[in-house]
Amino acid sequence: TFLSYLVKGIRKIFPNFNGDVAMDSVEKSFNSTGGETHLRWLLAELEGCIDTDLVLVLDDFHWVQESSAIKDVLNFVLQHAAPSLHVILISRASIPLSLSRLKAQRQLLEITAAELVFSREETTRLCGEIFQVQWEPDLLDRMWDLTQGWVSGLTLFNHAFHDIPTGDIWKCLDQPFSLPDPVAEYLEEEVFSSLVSEIKDF
């Protein structure tokens, strides 16, 4: 399934890419010689089709990181792909792939959570220049404490309180209150809906 979607995605960018060998390899065990050979054919065909850099982005990688088959395929691709193929893995958990050699060869760039969050100074600029709100420093500090500088949290905060007087914002933050609609909708769609039924019931 993973390989079939991968092939279809590449075909959207490079229609001449066939990828039938990858479809065949689905029926084979990757640990066998045949499975590895099929992946070599796949990479060779891909290298022959692309005439520019190709960036492969796999978002929400934490959903498949328990799959040993997918990890084996990606480890093989990272070790044998042409320099024109660049892989971006986005995950909410550490990525369990063999990356030490790439690190040693300076072919790996890691962007961690600490580098993604906004600092207090960046939060002030975001609110003033992008959100077009002039909140007092104490309120900005409180917003940063609540969101820890994550841009999605800062954006939701702005949606929830953009047109509310500062005094009313403090009242909301200083006592229990109903979640503003943008925040409630985000938590429902992005957090609650993806939970297993046992946790939802709990």
Structure confidence by residue, pLDDT tens digits, 96-126: 899 999 999 999 999 988 899 999 999 999 9
**pTM: predicted TM-score of the whole model, two decimal places:** 0.69
pLDDT, tens digit, 9 for 90 and up, residues 31-85: 555 567 778 888 888 888 888 899 999 998 988 888 888 998 899 999 998 899 9
pLDDT at 142: 92
Kindly state the DSSP code that residue 29 receives in the 8-state scheme. -
Look at residues 18, 77, 14 and name the one whose alpha carbon lies nearest to residue 43: 77
Task: Evaluate whether 75 touches 98 at the Cβ level (below 8 Å).
Answer: yes
For the chain, give the mean pLDDT.
Answer: 86
* C-beta of residue 74 within 8 angstroms of C-beta of residue 64: no
